[in-house]
Structure 1
Amino acid sequence: MHHPLTSLCAALSAACLLTLPAQAQSTEEATLAPVTVKAQRTPDATSEGSGSYTTEATSTATGLPLSIRDTPQSVSVVTSERMQDQAMDTVEDALRATPGVSLKSMDRGRNGLSARGFLITNYQFDGVPMFTGNIGAETISTAPFDRIEVVRGATGLLNGAGDPSAAINLVRKHATSKTFTATVETELGSWNHRAGTLDLSTPLNSDASVRGRVVLSADAQDAFIDLENTRGSVFYGVVDADLAPGTRVSVGASHETRQRNGVYWGGLTYWYADGGRTQWDRSKTTATRWNQWDTEETTAFASLEHRLANRWRVRADLAHRKQVEDSKLLWVMGTPDRSTGLGMSAYPYHYHAEPTQNHASVSASGPFRLGGREHELSVGVMHSQLKDGWDNRDALSGLPEVGNFNEWDGSYPEPAMSPFYLASRDTTTQTGAYAASRLQITDALKFIVGGRVSQWKRQGEVGAWTAEAYTLRHSSVFTPYAGVVFDLNDHLSVYASHTTIFKPQTEKDRHGQYLDPLEGDSSEIGIKGEFFNGRLNASAAVFRTDQDNLATPDAGYFVPGTATVASRAAQGVESQGVELEVSGEVAPGWQLGAGWTQFSARDAQGAHVVTEHPRQQLKLFTRHTLGGALQKLSLGGGLVWESRPPVTATHPVTGLEERVGQPAHALVDVMAAYALTPRTSVQLNISNLLDKVFYDSSWSGYTQGEPRKFTLALKHRF
C-alpha cells in the first residue's frame, strides 16, 4: 500500500512542501489495509505537553470542535511546543511565524497585521471576540496561553463585524493537573535581556476537584535602538473546579504591564533633501529621552460548562478586558540636508486611552440524529459592549528646532503641555445569535452550514475628532456560512467554503444617510491531509476574497448641511491566491511547521492595497530530537522568506511615487536544546543568524529590523 504522505504529494503535485523520510518510502506490502475504529468523544485541542506542532481540534471557525481536516477553512495553530522551541515570548513572535499572516512594525510602538490583503482586526480570547486598541493584542506575553489559533478568510459567524482577513484566537492555559507541578525558567540574551517565569499548578482540595494555576513573569530589555528600554510583568491566575459529574467552572484573571521608554513614534525618513536615499545606522532613533509608550492590560473571565448524558454541552461565558495606553511622544519628520542634518521638524503628542470591553454569551453544542445519521449542531447568543476613545495633550507654545539630525541624541527638551482634552469617545454594542451544523450526508460527505444575525450600534460623543454626536445602527445583519468536506480516503479530504463578514463605516452619502457596511466575502477550495493518527496535518488552498461597498468620494456632492464631500458605495478590494501548509510530526522526534502564501490584492482601480505587506511568504521551522548517545539533544532551524512589498512613497525632488519596500529577503533562525537531567534543560536560540539588514515600511518612513539576537534559557520542572 502507498504511504499516506506519498498520496499527499501526488495530490498536491509540485506544490507539496514535504520531503519524505527515507523510511517512509517503502515498497508496497501484500497486506490488507488496517481498519481504524474511532471512539465517539470530543477531540482535545490542548497542545501543552503534547510535544507537537499541531492539535487534534479547533473551534475558532465554527464553534464546533472539529479537526483541522474537517474545518473547511485555512487554519494554522501555533502550539505550546512550537512557542517553546522558537522562544516566542510575545504573541507577535508567534504571528511572525504563522503561515499567511504578515506582521510589520508601524514604528517602535505598534504593528500592522494583515492576511490575504486585508488588515487583521479580529481577536478572540478562548473563543470570545475581543477588541484590540491602538496597541494590538499581539504585543502581550505568550506566558498565559496554551496555543494560538488563526483562521484565515472571513470569520463573521463567531466574530460579528470585522475584515475578511483572519481571526486570531488566544487560548489560555488551564489548571488541568491533579498533582502539584511547577516550572521555573530564566532567560538571558542580547541587549541586556533578562526574564524569569514561574508556572505553578496545584490541587486546592483533597480529591483535586478544585485546581489552581498561577503564571508569573517579569522581564527587562534594552534594545538595538538607541535610548530604548522596556520593563514588563505578567500575572495570570485561574481556578478550575469540577462542581459535579459533567459540570466544570473556570474563573481567572490576568494583569500585564509594559513600561517602554525611549520608544520612537513614526519612522526613519527614506530620503535626504537632495533626493538621495538615507542609510541610517540600525541603532538610529527619532525618540527623545522623555519618550514613553506604556501599556497595561487587565482581563477577567468566568465560564460554566455542563455536559449532558446525550453528549450535548451547554456553556456560559463572561469576560472583561481593559487596556490602558499612555504615550508621550515626539514625531520627528522631514528630509534632512545630507551634510548639515538640518530640515527636520518635530511634533509632540500625549495620548491616553482606556478601551474597555465586557462580554456575555451562552452556547450549546452536541449531536443529533436525522435520516438515520448522526450530525452536530452548535448554537449561541453573545452580547458585548465596548467603550473606546482617547484623550490628548498638545504643546502650549512654540517648539525648539530639531537641529542637526545627523547628530540626534534624544536630548530635545520636553515642552510644556496643555491639560488633557477629549479627542474621541464612543460606545459600541454588538448582539449576535448564531447557529452552525455539520451534516453527515454520507460516510464521506459532510456539509457545514450556518449563519448569524447581528445587531450593531455605535454612539459617538462630541470631541476634537467628532464635530457632532451621532448614532450609527445596523439591525438584523445576516452573515451566512457554508462549507463542504468530502473524504477521498482515510487520509485526504477536499473541501470548499464560502464565508462572510461585515464592517460598518461612518461615511455619509449625498442624502445624509450612512453608507451600508463593507461586505467581505471569502471563497476557498482546497485539499487537506491528516496522517499518523492526527499527528501530522497538511493542506493546500486556493482562495478569493472580495470586499465591497467601499466608501469613495461622490464628486460634486456634499453631505447635506455640511462642507464634507459626500461618499458613495463602490466596488472594493479583490484578493486571490494560494496557501500551502504542513504541521506536525513527520517522523518520531521530528516536528515540522511550514507554509507558503502567494496572493494579489487590488482595489477597483487596479492599485495595490495594504502595500506595506509582502505578496509571497515562505515560513519554515523544524526541530529534531537526536537518537542514541545524543538523545538528550534537540536541534532546530528555519527561515522566513518574504517578497518585496509594493509600498511606495513620494520622492522629495521629483514628486513622483517611488517603490521603497524592503527587497526580498530571508531571515534564518536556529535553536539547540539539551536535557541536563530529566527535569532540567538548557536551550539556545539565535534569530537572524546571518545578521541580515532589513526594514519594515510604515505610515511614516521605515523601521529597522532586529539584528542577530541570542537567547539562552534554563528551565527546571518540579
Structure 2
Amino acid sequence: MKICLQDTAYRGATGLMTGTGEPSAAVNMVRKHADSKTVTGSLSGSYGSWDKRRVVADVSAPLTTAGNVRTRVITGYQDGNSWLDRYGKRKKFFTGALDADLTAMTTLSVGYDYQQAHTSSPTWGGVPTWYADGGRTHFDRSFSPAPDWSYSEHKANKVFASLAQRFDNGWLLNATGTHAENRFDSKLMYASGFPDRATGGGVSAFGGWNKGKRKLDSLDMYASGPVTVFERQHTLMLGGSYSKQNNHYINAQSSFSADEVGDYFRWNGRIAEKPWSPWVDYSNDTIRKRSLYGAARITLADPLHAIVGARYTHWRASGTTANSDKSRITPYAGLIYDINDSWSGYASYTSIFQPQSVRNIDKRYIDPATGNSYETGLKGDWLNGRLTASVALFYTRQDNVAVRTSEYIPGTDEMAWRAANDTVSKGVEFELNGKLTDDWLMTVGGSRFMAQAGDHTAINPWMPRTTLKLFTRYRLPILPALTLGGGVNWQNSTWQDVAGPQGAARIHQGSYALVDLFGRYQVTQRLAVQANVNNLFDKENFDYLGAYAVYGAPRSVSVAVNYDF
C-alpha cells in the first residue's frame, strides 16, 4: 500500500504544511472553483427542529462556447430559532467565482465572498453551576441568561485571486492573494453570581457593547514540480508568504445589580437596557507574518520515501494589546516504509511554532506556542481498499500552550486564556474502515491521550481524554434507493477546577454517548431526500464545564431535499 503524500488531511503537527505547526490534525481547505464546461449545479433545502430553515443554490456555467471562461455562483439563506429561549439567528451568504484559461497552461481565478449574520438574544456565559449554599443547580436546557435586547451582527467580505502557470516539465507556479474585511457589532449581558436556593436572588450582571473590524491582506506564492536525481523521481516545493492583519475593537459597558435582575429562577430576559459608558479602545493591533519555506518528497528506494522541509517564519504583533516579535525555523522530517502490499509504517518529527489569537485576563495576546512533536504509526489496506486500518502513537512537548480559564476579559465577551509551559501531550489513536458487503459500510475509531503541564497539573481537563466512535451505513438490497445509517460518539468523564460560591470547587461530568441516525432516499437519479436525528436519546450533557455551564443540544430532527442538474 502506498501512502499519498498530497492528501487533503494531515494528522500530527503541521509545521511543514502550514509553516506554524500545531500538534493536531490539519485540513487542506481548497476553494470552490468554476471548473465545469457545461451548465451544472444543485438546489437544496432543509427544515428542522426549532424552525431551522436553509436553502442553497450552487450553479456553474461556461461563459464562452469553448468553455475556457467559466463562472460559479453559490448563494443561500438560513434562519431559525434554538432550544434556548429567545434565541434566533439568520444568515445569508454569496460566493462568486470566475475561472479563465488564459492559455492551455495558464489559469486565472478570481472570486468574491459575502456573509451577513444576525443573532437575537445570544448568550454570553452559561447558567450557574451551584446555588449560593454550594449545592448543584439544575436549570432547564432552554434557560437563557440573555436579555431580550441583546444581539450580535457579523458582516464579512472577501476578494481573492490566484494565477496558476503549468509547464511542460511538470512544474507548477502558483500565486494567491486575498483581501478580507470582517465587521462585528454585539450587545451582550453576562450574569454573575450564585442564586439563593429559596429566593433566586444574588445574581448580578454587566453588559458589554462591542464593535470591531478585522482586515486581512495575504499573498502566497510557491513553485512545485518533479526532479530526477540518481535515476529516481522526487518532488520539490519552494515558496513564500506574507500576511497582515489588523484588529480594531471598541467597547462600552453597563452594570445591573442583583435587585435589578431579581429572582433568577423567574428570569425571562425582560430587563431595561441601561445607559452605556463612553466608547473606549480595548484592542487595536496589527499582526504581520512573513514566511519562506521549502520541502522535498524523496524516493530513497522502492519501498522507502522521505519528506523533509523547513519554514522560516517571522511573526510580529504590535499595538495596544500586543507587542511581540518572534522568528523561528520549523524543520520537518518524515519517513514512510512500504512493508508489503498491505502494510506501511511511518515516523515523523516536526518543530512547532504556532502564533495564537487568544488573550489573557490583561488583554495581552499569548506568545506563540513552541515545541516539538513526534509521531509513528502503521496503516493497512486489504481487499483492494475494502478494509483499511491505521494506528498512531504521538508525543508532543510545548511551551506557551493556551489554556482556557473560566473568566472573561473585563468588559468584553472574550474568554480569557493563560499560558502553560513545559506541557506534554502523548497518546494513541486508531481507525478501522470496512466494506462488509457491497451495501454495508462501517467505521470504528478511537483515541486516548494525556496532557499535563510542567507542574503536573492537567491541561484543559474539560476536554475528553478518551473518545470512541462507531458509524455504519446500510443500503437495503430489496430497496436500493434507501440507505439507512447511524453512529455513536462516546467520551469519558471530564472535570474542571473553578471558583465556586464556597471557594475552590471542582465541576465534574460523567462519561456519555450521543447517538445519531439518518435515512436517505434517492427518489430519482437527480433528486434525493434525507432525514437526520441528532442526539436520538435526548442525552443531557454539557458543552462547557465551569462555574457557569453551557448545555449541549437536545434531540433534534431535520429533513433535507437535494436536486442535482
Residues 1:570 and 1:668: Cα distance change in structure 2 (over 3 Å)? closer
Report Cα offsets for 1:212-264 as digits up to 9, x if no partner.
Answer: 11111111111100010111111111112222112222211211121111111
Q: Which deviates more, 488-497 or 161-170?
A: 161-170
Residues 1:190 and 1:504: Cα distance change in structure 2 (over 3 Å)? closer
Q: How does 1:334-373 map to 2 (within 5 A)?
A: 334-373=193-232
Residues 1:591 and 1:386: Cα distance change in structure 2 (over 3 Å)? farther
Aligned residue type for 2:526: R
Scaled by the length of structure 2, the TM-score of the pair is 0.90
CA distance in 1, matches of 2:332, 2:135: 52
Q: Which residue of 1 aligns with 2:325?
A: 473
Q: How does 1:84-163 map to 2 (within 5 A)?
A: 150-161=9-20, 163=22
Q: Is 1:657 paired with 2:510?
A: no
2:236 to 365, 369, 377: 377
CA distance in 2, matches of 1:275, 1:516: 37
Q: Which deviates more, 356-365 or 691-700?
A: 691-700
Is the CA contact (8 Å cut-off) linking 2:69 and 2:101 kept in structure 1?
A: yes
Residues 1:672 and 1:478: Cα distance change in structure 2 (over 3 Å)? same
CA distance in 2, matches of 1:515, 1:181: 47
Q: Which residue of 1 aligns with 2:476?
A: 626
Q: Which residue of 1 aligns with 2:96?
A: 237
Is the CA contact (8 Å cut-off) linking 1:647 and 1:697 kept in structure 2?
A: no
Q: Is 1:489 paired with 2:336?
A: no
Gaps of 5+ in 1: 5-66, 76-148, 507-513, 553-568
Report Cα offsets for 1:675-704 as digits up to 9, x if no partner.
Answer: 122211111111111111111225652111
Q: Which residue of 2 aligns with 1:8?
A: none
Report Cα offsets for 1:565-599 as digits up to 9, x if no partner.
Answer: xxxx9952100001112458565344444431110
CA distance in 2, matches of 1:196, 1:505: 35
CA distance in 2, matches of 1:516, 1:185: 44
Q: Which residue of 2 aligns with 1:324?
A: 183
Paired residue secondary structure (1:611): coil
CA distance in 2, matches of 1:551, 1:689: 34
Tell me by how many angstroms 1:158 deviates: 3.7
Q: Is 1:597 paired with 2:447?
A: yes
CA distance in 1, matches of 2:21, 2:333: 18
Paired residue secondary structure (2:525): coil
Report Cα offsets for 1:644-685 as digits up to 9, x if no partner.
Answer: 1232233422x2432x23211111011111112221111111
CA distance in 2, matches of 1:536, 1:309: 38
1:499 to 350, 354, 363: 350
CA distance in 2, matches of 1:570, 1:680: 52
Q: Which residue of 2 aligns with 1:670?
A: 517
Q: Which residue of 2 aligns with 1:296?
A: 155
Q: How does 1:426-445 map to 2 (within 5 A)?
A: 426-445=285-304
Paired residue secondary structure (1:170): coil
CA distance in 1, matches of 2:263, 2:505: 27
CA distance in 1, matches of 2:536, 2:123: 26
Residues 1:278 and 1:356: Cα distance change in structure 2 (over 3 Å)? same
1:277 to 136, 140, 163: 136
Residues 1:479 and 1:234: Cα distance change in structure 2 (over 3 Å)? same
Tell me by how many angstroms 1:297 deviates: 2.3
Q: How does 1:306-705 map to 2 (within 5 A)?
A: 306-395=165-254, 401-461=260-320, 466=321, 471-475=323-327, 477-503=328-354, 518-531=369-382, 537-548=388-399, 571-582=421-432, 587-627=437-477, 629-653=478-502, 655-658=503-506, 660-698=507-545, 701-705=548-552
Residues 1:700 and 1:581: Cα distance change in structure 2 (over 3 Å)? same
Is the CA contact (8 Å cut-off) linking 2:253 and 2:277 kept in structure 1?
A: yes
Aligned residue type for 1:598: R
Is the CA contact (8 Å cut-off) linking 2:500 and 2:547 kept in structure 1?
A: no
Residues 1:651 and 1:516: Cα distance change in structure 2 (over 3 Å)? closer
Aligned residue type for 1:657: A
Tell me by how many angstroms 1:542 deviates: 0.2
Q: Is 1:215 paired with 2:59?
A: no
CA distance in 1, matches of 2:223, 2:435: 33
Tell me by how many angstroms 1:156 deviates: 2.5
Tell me by how many angstroms 1:417 deviates: 1.1
Tell me by how many angstroms 1:413 deviates: 1.1
CA distance in 2, matches of 1:669, 1:472: 45
CA distance in 2, matches of 1:515, 1:253: 32
Residues 1:315 and 1:533: Cα distance change in structure 2 (over 3 Å)? farther
Report Cα offsets for 1:509-531 as digits up to 9, x if no partner.
Answer: xxxxx998542211000012345
CA distance in 2, matches of 1:505, 1:300: 24
Residues 1:302 and 1:598: Cα distance change in structure 2 (over 3 Å)? same
Tell me by how many angstroms 1:601 deviates: 0.1
Tell me by how many angstroms 1:398 deviates: 7.5
CA distance in 1, matches of 2:82, 2:401: 40
Residues 1:551 and 1:671: Cα distance change in structure 2 (over 3 Å)? closer
CA distance in 1, matches of 2:513, 2:167: 52
Aligned residue type for 2:438: P
Is the CA contact (8 Å cut-off) linking 2:20 and 2:330 kept in structure 1?
A: no
Aligned residue type for 1:617: T
CA distance in 2, matches of 1:344, 1:380: 55
CA distance in 2, matches of 1:600, 1:453: 30
Report Cα offsets for 1:423-473 as digits up to 9, x if no partner.
Answer: 111111111110111110100001110001112212213xxxx4xxx7422
Paired residue secondary structure (1:610): coil
Q: Which deviates more, 477-486 or 155-164?
A: 155-164
Root mean square deviation, CA, Å? 2.6
Paired residue secondary structure (1:661): strand
CA distance in 2, matches of 1:200, 1:505: 37
Aligned residue type for 1:672: G
Residues 1:182 and 1:388: Cα distance change in structure 2 (over 3 Å)? same
Q: Which residue of 2 aligns with 1:717?
A: 564
Aligned residue type for 2:453: D
Identity %: 38
Is the CA contact (8 Å cut-off) linking 1:163 and 1:520 kept in structure 2?
A: no
Is the CA contact (8 Å cut-off) linking 1:661 and 1:697 kept in structure 2?
A: no
Residues 1:155 and 1:491: Cα distance change in structure 2 (over 3 Å)? same
Is the CA contact (8 Å cut-off) linking 2:202 and 2:258 kept in structure 1?
A: no
Report Cα offsets for 1:91-126 as digits up to 9, x if no partner.
Answer: xxxxxxxxxxxxxxxxxxxxxxxxxxxxxxxxxxxx
Q: Which deviates more, 367-376 or 522-531?
A: 522-531
Report Cα offsets for 1:616-657 as digits up to 9, x if no partner.
Answer: 112333323233x3011111100111111232233422x243
CA distance in 2, matches of 1:171, 1:594: 27
Is the CA contact (8 Å cut-off) linking 1:304 and 1:316 kept in structure 2?
A: yes
Q: Which residue of 2 aligns with 1:56?
A: none
Which protein has the bigger strand share? 2
Paired residue secondary structure (1:646): strand
Q: Which residue of 1 aligns with 2:60?
A: 201
Q: Which residue of 2 aligns with 1:708?
A: 555
Report Cα offsets for 1:20-74 as digits up to 9, x if no partner.
Answer: xxxxxxxxxxxxxxxxxxxxxxxxxxxxxxxxxxxxxxxxxxxxxxx8x2459xx
